[in-house]
């Protein structure tokens, strides 16, 4: 295979392979390891505060002088209404009791204590820290932010899960579009948190390619040379991998979570809103079975913030039934080698074909 170079040249990397952001799983060490493999690392900032984000950017720069992408959430934050308060007062005690029934003692926060932040404060932090690449998910940046970032020479990578979302990103001047297939692990990049496009990744990539002129990254189901070659044939000019790195040395997953991944069956990988209020693909467990499809799910990001303490308590007890283990549909051996070795092995496979 001859590597496409439109995106790799734009991003300043040798290979057009991107380590997926994977907030909660990726680490600054993973970003640096991806850079050592001559790929693009992605630093997951999600909806952290500006100060927390600056600290992580500087920490990453201590480990690598190569380019990396900062990645943020650009979700809409629902207004706190009386209806939301009323629902919150039902959800919190239900989840606390569910945890207690399963030997997890946890006190969940009040609604007023949830730290829910818009993304705008991160824009200035990213500019001030001289980041050169910004990727984002859950929607599109506002026009003013796009203008401000472009004036500072920052390359913008938006995420789409449908042709209509791709067209919105292209029209607003986003430089590169990441097409996220339904196969991908973790949260959907869908603009509407209550809707998941039912189109498969390969069909979606092919259709987006036919509708936009913007260079495309593909994410979802890539775990070996065959899957990467397939999406290359369909028009992808760069390739985002996340599932492949879940059990890597640099992953933030704990040993008990990695072991659960290695035993996962195809019928256990499902889409759920139960942990965060947004659809995410991961491993089915007792918590998901109890909450998914129930009245005990708040809109994102409130559900995500509320369940954070529960997930931490479950991690401490090494209880796989109450943590969110996000993974894609492509089951593989979940290598525990370093991120650098895993990516170099993938590159070797591809160059051997």
Hey, which CATH number is domain 1-77+117-251+334-353, 3.20.10.10, 3.40.50.300, 3.90.1150.10, 3.20.20.70?
Answer: 3.20.20.70
Q: What b/e string do you get for 79-92 counting C-beta neighbours within 10 Å, with b at 16 or more?
A: eeeeeeeebbeebb
For 196-226, write each residue's pLDDT tens digit: 888 899 999 999 999 999 999 999 999 999 9
Average pLDDT, the chain: 97
Tell me the two tokens of residue 303. Answer: 């559900």
Taking only the tens of pLDDT, the chain with its 353 residues reads 899 999 999 999 999 999 999 999 999 999 999 999 999 999 999 999 999 999 999 999 999 999 999 999 999 999 999 999 999 999 999 999 999 999 999 999 999 999 999 999 999 999 999 999 999 999 999 999 999 999 999 999 999 999 999 999 999 999 999 999 999 999 999 999 988 888 899 999 999 999 999 999 999 999 999 999 999 999 999 999 999 999 999 999 999 999 999 999 999 999 999 999 999 999 999 999 999 999 999 999 999 999 999 999 999 999 999 999 999 999 999 999 999 999 999 999 999 76
Cβ-based neighbour number of residue 341 at 10 Å: 16
Tell me the two tokens of residue 160. Answer: 């789409």
Return the closest-CA partner of residue 157 out of 59, 30, 67, 279. Answer: 67
Compute φ and ψ for 24, nearest 5 degrees. Answer: 95, -15
Return the closest-CA partner of residue 92 out of 113, 75, 78. Answer: 113
Domain ranges of the chain: 1-77+117-251+334-353, 81-115+265-326
- Supply the pTM of this predicted model: 0.97
Q: What are the residues whose beta carbons fall under 8 Å from the beta carbon of 340, sequence distance 6 or more?
A: 33, 34, 36, 37
């Amino acid at each position: 295979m001859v590597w496409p170079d439109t995106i790799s040249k734009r991003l300043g990397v040798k290979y057009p392979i991107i380590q997926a952001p994977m907030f909660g799983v990726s680490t600054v060490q993973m970003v640096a390891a991806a850079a050592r493999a001559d790929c693009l690392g992605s630093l997951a900032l999600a909806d952290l505060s500006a100060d927390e984000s600056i600290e992580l950017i500087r920490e990453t720069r201590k480990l690598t002088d190569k380019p990396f992408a900062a990645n943020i959430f650009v979700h809409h934050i629902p207004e706190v209404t009386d209806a939301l308060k009323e629902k919150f007062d039902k959800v919190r005690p239900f989840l606390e009791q569910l945890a207690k029934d399963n030997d997890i003692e946890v006190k969940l926060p009040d609604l007023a204590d949830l730290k829910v932040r818009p993304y705008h404060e991160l824009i200035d932090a990213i500019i001030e820290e001289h980041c050169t690449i910004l990727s984002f998910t859950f929607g599109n940046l506002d026009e003013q932010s796009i203008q401000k970032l472009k004036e500072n020479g920052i390359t913008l990578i938006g995420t789409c899960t449908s042709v209509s979302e791709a067209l919105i990103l292209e029209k607003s001047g986003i430089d590169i579009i990441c097409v996220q297939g339904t196969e991908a692990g973790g949260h959907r990049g869908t603009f509407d948190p209550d809707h998941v496009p039912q189109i498969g990744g390969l069909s979606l990539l092919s259709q987006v390619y036919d509708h936009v002129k913007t260079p495309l990254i593909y994410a979802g189901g890539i775990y070996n040379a065959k899957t990467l070659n397939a999406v290359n044939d369909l028009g992808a000019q760069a390739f985002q991998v996340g599932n492949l790195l879940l059990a890597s040395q640099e992953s933030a997953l704990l040993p008990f979570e990695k072991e659960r991944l290695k035993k996962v069956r195809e019928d256990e990988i499902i889409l759920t809103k139960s942990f965060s209020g947004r659809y995410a693909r991961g491993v089915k467990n007792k918590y998901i079975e109890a909450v998914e499809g129930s009245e005990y799910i708040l809109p994102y990001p409130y559900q995500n913030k509320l369940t954070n303490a529960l997930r931490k308590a479950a991690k401490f007890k090494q209880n796989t039934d109450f943590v969110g283990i996000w993974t894609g549909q492509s089951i593989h051996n979940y290598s525990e080698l370093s991120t650098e070795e895993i990516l170099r092995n993938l590159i070797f496979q591809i160059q051997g074909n």
